């Protein structure tokens, strides 16, 4: 691999970050942290004085519904919980002629209830190895939040993707600049002409290339089109220079022709 190829492989451009969705997942992660700590607290009450509970043991107490498309609240693996508790208590009877199966265990209702109260995302985070136990406390593993943020980012990575991104970004930057010329909120203005106002700003020249309309340059107007209803466009302000009336007439003709 030559240096140029290596450089191209390393280059990538962030196209979009679905930040609100990432924040939702991180919020669920933190809620799950609290839920898992509550479960650990209940387990610790039952096996107080025994060896520290591991994250693997805690994970095994929760049944993962891997076949469900929609996340569901976690379910307790009661058979595993009973066996886990019995094994821990049996440590007190080492050397005695007592079968483990005969050992009476304390109620596990607190553990079961804590699991049933867990949020619907808990199982997914547990089985994706998002947590660890440090000094008796559940903690989010290092790098998990960063990994969640990264999973909601989209990059232009190949040379073709990067080329397309840079081409379209020029148009996006120009549209944002144009939006600042409109009398309404610029961000809203950009949304409007993305939805159909571009024909008031761009048109095909005689050579077939896209060119700027004289109408928009002179008036700064980009009438809003309501696509779901029939609209009557009022006559543009009289005296405007350029193709004002022509633009209005064109839209009405196209509307009647069923183009919109």
DSSP 76: E
Task: Give pLDDT tens digits along the chain (260 positions).
Answer: 444 444 444 588 898 899 999 999 999 999 999 999 999 999 999 988 777 899 999 999 998 766 666 778 889 999 999 999 988 888 777 777 777 777 788 899 999 999 999 998 888 898 889 999 998 899 999 999 999 999 999 999 888 889 888 887 887 788 777 767 765 555 555 555 555 667 777 777 677 766 677 676 667 676 655 544 334 444 444 444 444 444 444 544 554 454 54
Return the pLDDT at 217.
Answer: 64
CA-CA distance, 245 to 247, in Å (whole number)?
5
**What is the rounded distance in angstroms from the CA atom of residue 160 to the CA atom of residue 173?**
20
Tell me the C-alpha to C-alpha distance, in Å, between residue 191 and each of 112, 167, 180.
51, 19, 12
pLDDT at 102: 73
Cα–Cα distances in Å, from 109 out to 53, 63, 132, 137, 164? 18, 16, 24, 21, 58
In angstroms, the CA 37 to CA 106 distance is 20
- The strand pairing partners of 203, in sequence order, are 211
Residues 88, 93, 94: CA angle, nearest 5 degrees = 95
- The pLDDT assigned to 247 comes to 46
Kindly tell me the sign of the dihedral angle through the C-alpha atoms of 222, 224, 230, 233.
negative
Q: What does the pLDDT read at residue 113?
A: 96
Domain residue ranges of the chain, discontinuous segments joined by + = 11-150, 185-256
- pLDDT at 174 (0 to 100): 81
Give the count of beta carbons closer than 10 Å to the beta carbon of residue 95: 5
Terminal CA-to-CA distance of the chain, rounded, Å? Answer: 52
CA dist 246 and 258 (Å) reads 18
Q: How many CA atoms lie within 13 A of 60 on its CB side?
A: 12
| Beta-carbon-side half-sphere exposure of residue 198 (alpha carbons within 13 Å) | 13
Q: Taking each helix axis from N to C terminus, what angle separates 159-179 and 186-194, rounded to the nearest 10 degrees?
A: 120
What distances in angstroms separate CA 217 from CA 95, 169, 251, one per listed residue?
94, 22, 18
CB atoms within 10 A of CB 76: 19
76 touches 112 (CB < 8 A): yes
pLDDT for res 227: 46
Read off the tokens for 109: 């209702």
User: 138, exposed or middle or buried, with CB in 10 Å at 0-12, 13-18, 19+?
Assistant: buried
The answer to pTM > 0.85 is no
Per the DSSP assignment, residues forming a β-bridge with 137 are: 134
Q: Which residues face 202 on adjacent strands?
A: 212
């Amino acid at each position: 691999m030559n240096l140029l190829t290596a450089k191209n492989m390393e280059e990538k451009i962030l196209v979009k970050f679905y930040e609100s969705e990432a924040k939702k997942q991180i919020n669920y992660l933190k809620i799950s942290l609290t839920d898992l700590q509550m479960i650990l607290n209940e387990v610790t009450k039952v096996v107080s004085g025994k060896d520290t509970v591991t994250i693997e043991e805690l994970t095994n107490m929760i049944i993962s519904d891997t076949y469900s498309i929609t996340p569901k609240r976690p379910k307790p693996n009661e058979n595993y919980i009973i066996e886990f508790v019995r094994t821990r208590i049996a440590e007190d009877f080492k050397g005695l002629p007592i079968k483990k199966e005969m050992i009476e265990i304390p109620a596990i209702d607190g553990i079961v209830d804590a699991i049933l109260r867990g949020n619907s995302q808990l199982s997914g985070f547990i089985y994706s190895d998002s947590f660890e136990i440090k000094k008796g406390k559940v903690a989010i593993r290092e790098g998990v939040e960063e990994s969640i943020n990264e999973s909601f980012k989209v990059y232009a990575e190949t040379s073709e993707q990067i080329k397309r991104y840079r081409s379209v970004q020029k148009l996006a930057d120009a549209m944002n600049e144009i939006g600042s010329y409109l009398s309404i909120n610029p961000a809203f203005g950009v949304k409007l002409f993305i939805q159909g106002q571009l024909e008031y700003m761009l048109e095909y020249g005689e050579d077939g290339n896209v060119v700027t309309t004289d109408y928009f340059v002179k008036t700064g107007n980009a009438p809003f089109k309501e696509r779901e209803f029939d609209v009557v466009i009022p006559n543009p302000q009289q005296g405007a220079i350029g193709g004002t009336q022509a633009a209005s007439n064109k839209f009405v003709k196209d509307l009647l022709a069923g183009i919109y």
